[in-house]
Structure 1
Amino acid sequence: MAFLSQAQAAPAWFLSLAFLGTLYAAAFSFRLLAHLALCLRRPKDLRRRYGAWAVVTGPTSGIGRSVALELASRGLNLVLVDLNAANLKEIAHTVRSRHAVQTKTVVFDLSLVSTAQGDEAMRRLREAVAGLDVGVLVNNAGVAKPGAVYLHEADVEACVRMMRVNLWALTEVTAAVLPGMLERRRGAVVNMGSASSEAIPSFPLHTMYAATKRYVSNKRTGIR
């Protein structure tokens, strides 16, 4: 009876917040369970399901390196795209020494997209994937600089570089690889997002970066 009396005495705003909190917790729990179910599923034969080759941008360190090594362990040959030739040579050697797969490398500074140098690099990428059974594209390359600064304090060139890599390069690389997938009627495109555009409603002092990653999270590529 005491509990009932307290519930009846609770103000409407409190009950509204409690209801919204319950809905948020339920939605979060559903997404968490969905991710857990995905992790617990038996690994798929990616080569058979999608194709023999994968393209990975930014594969020389961090998440991109881990993704490249994982895909190679699953039997996929790799087209590795990065701006540093020495780092590309190292990751390609590491992949081949650990797994019985082939590799191709394309030196491409993605911040030069939509420039003469970027057009030449894009031509080399198209040549590298021409005729290959590319079934997976991982758009991993990304730039987070400038960091936490006000707009009037930011380096404009750095902001433009970030937008070129996070927005334009992702779009152009996808456009270069997608026609082959459509022709073969199979393939998967993985775009690396960020919690800055998913977990929190805003990201103070990182608004441009969060905006570029919101573009990534909203970008859907359908292959029918």
Structure 2
Amino acid sequence: MAAVDSFHLLYREVARSCHNHFEFLAVVGALYTARKGISILYECYSVVRLHVTPHILRRRDLVKQYGAWAVVTGATDIIGRAYAEELASRGLNIILICSNREELHNVSEALAETYGVNTSIIHADFRKGPEAYVSIKEILRDFDVGILVNNARVLYEYPQSIMEIPEDKVWEIINVNVAAAVLMVRIVVPGMAQRKRGAIVNVSPGTGSRHSAHTQIAASKAYLDKFSRQLQCELRSSGIFVQLLTPLCVEDKQEPSAGISQYLPAFVPSSDVYARHAVRTLGISSRTTGYWAHSLQLLAFQWVPVWMCTSIGRVFQY
């Protein structure tokens, strides 16, 4: 009988202990759920504040706020061209920088004819390193540059490991995706700081994944992210606004495809629609996708497993 009583006593102690542990775990679970819920609500509120409020308020005068001229690098690709068009539609004169001379002339003439603004072109190939900036420095010296859009980047057709990438391609990625933004900032910031106004937009297209399928491209994006954050802290007192723009999939309005965009048009906007939304976030958010549906996609990806994010990144790799 003594053994039976001891067993019952031990059972009751174990049951009481387990009950206490379950209560503790329930409290921890409730706190974690509440924290996640509040985080999601805040993210949704941020999306509404950033992407809805600017549409309600009167359109800002960017010329008065930042200056008469905007510089756009990578000006002939989808986002660069559309961003330049949107700025031109708001009355800014545009300086276009790209390595393709013929396309530069075409975009420049189209902007001047359509929007009645002044345009200037600089033919420069950032892949060549320091020599590409000699003419840029000389030409921009005489301009009141109010907005710099760092959109130049190297695209990669398919993912490769670091050892598979040719050495010349490695330098190309470093020179264009990393160094170009830094050196362009060094060229225009002294004038902006002197005038106590200006805006810098660093464009770093995302894939919606937390892990890129391309090591070198992923590293360059991470650098641009950190560079933009630190630059904002450094230049805030000088009246210069810095933004990291991280668009997802955007369709070329001039060459619409028959892919996923025709089934999900809200999530794959045309370049002009995207640029219109992105420019409205200028001066409001220092880090944004620029488009409401892209922000919702990134929010959703926080709940997606890493392996799935990586797989999606391989499909939509820029």
TM-score (normalizing by structure 1): 0.83
- Asked if residue 160 in structure 1 is aligned to residue 171 in structure 2, the reply is yes
Q: Which runs of 5+ in 1 are unaligned?
A: 1-6
- Asked if residue 46 in structure 1 is aligned to residue 62 in structure 2, the reply is yes
Q: Give the AA of the match of 1:201.
A: R
Among 198, 204, 217, the alignment partner of 1:209 is 217
Among 200, 203, 211, the alignment partner of 1:192 is 203
Q: Give the AA of the match of 2:145.
A: V
Separation in structure 1 between the aligned mates of residue 160 and residue 26 of structure 2, nearest angstrom: 41
Separation in structure 1 between the aligned mates of residue 52 and residue 124 of structure 2, nearest angstrom: 37
User: 2:91 touches 2:117 (CA, 8 Å); kept in 1?
Assistant: yes
Q: Which runs of 5+ in 2 are unaligned?
A: 1-21, 240-318
Secondary structure in 2 matching 1:113: helix
Give how far 1:68 is off.
Answer: 0.6
Among 184, 190, 196, the alignment partner of 1:179 is 190
What's the CA shift string for 1:128-153, capped at 9, x where partnerless? 21221111110011113263122222
Secondary structure in 1 matching 2:180: helix
Q: Give the AA of the match of 2:119.
A: T
Give how far 1:39 is off.
Answer: 3.8
User: 1:143 touches 1:165 (CA, 8 Å); kept in 2?
Assistant: yes
**Which residue matches 2:250?**
none
Separation in structure 2 between the aligned mates of residue 45 and residue 51 of structure 1, nearest angstrom: 10
Secondary structure in 1 matching 2:48: helix
170-179 vs 34-43, greater mean Cα deviation:
34-43
Separation in structure 2 between the aligned mates of residue 25 and residue 157 of structure 1, nearest angstrom: 43
Secondary structure in 1 matching 2:163: helix
User: 1:55 touches 1:81 (CA, 8 Å); kept in 2?
Assistant: yes
Aligned-pair RMSD on alpha carbons?
2.4
Separation in structure 2 between the aligned mates of residue 189 and residue 10 of structure 1, nearest angstrom: 47
Give how far 1:16 is off.
Answer: 6.8
User: 1:146 touches 1:158 (CA, 8 Å); kept in 2?
Assistant: no
Q: How does 1:122-137 map to 2 (within 5 A)?
A: 122-137=133-148
- Asked if residue 18 in structure 1 is aligned to residue 33 in structure 2, the reply is yes
User: 1:79 touches 1:106 (CA, 8 Å); kept in 2?
Assistant: yes
User: 1:146 touches 1:159 (CA, 8 Å); kept in 2?
Assistant: no
What's the CA shift string for 1:29-65, capped at 9, x where partnerless? 2432232245424321011111111100011120000
Separation in structure 1 between the aligned mates of residue 29 and residue 214 of structure 2, nearest angstrom: 33
User: 2:161 touches 2:215 (CA, 8 Å); kept in 1?
Assistant: no
Separation in structure 2 between the aligned mates of residue 128 and residue 26 of structure 1, nearest angstrom: 48
Give how far 1:122 is off.
Answer: 1.3
The total of aligned residue pairs comes to: 210
Secondary structure in 2 matching 1:188: strand
**Which residue matches 1:108?**
124
User: 2:162 touches 2:215 (CA, 8 Å); kept in 1?
Assistant: no
User: 2:96 touches 2:122 (CA, 8 Å); kept in 1?
Assistant: yes
Q: How does 1:71-82 map to 2 (within 5 A)?
A: 71-82=87-98
What's the CA shift string for 1:118-177, capped at 9, x where partnerless? x2x312112221221111110011113263122222223212211211110111011111
TM-score (normalizing by structure 2): 0.60
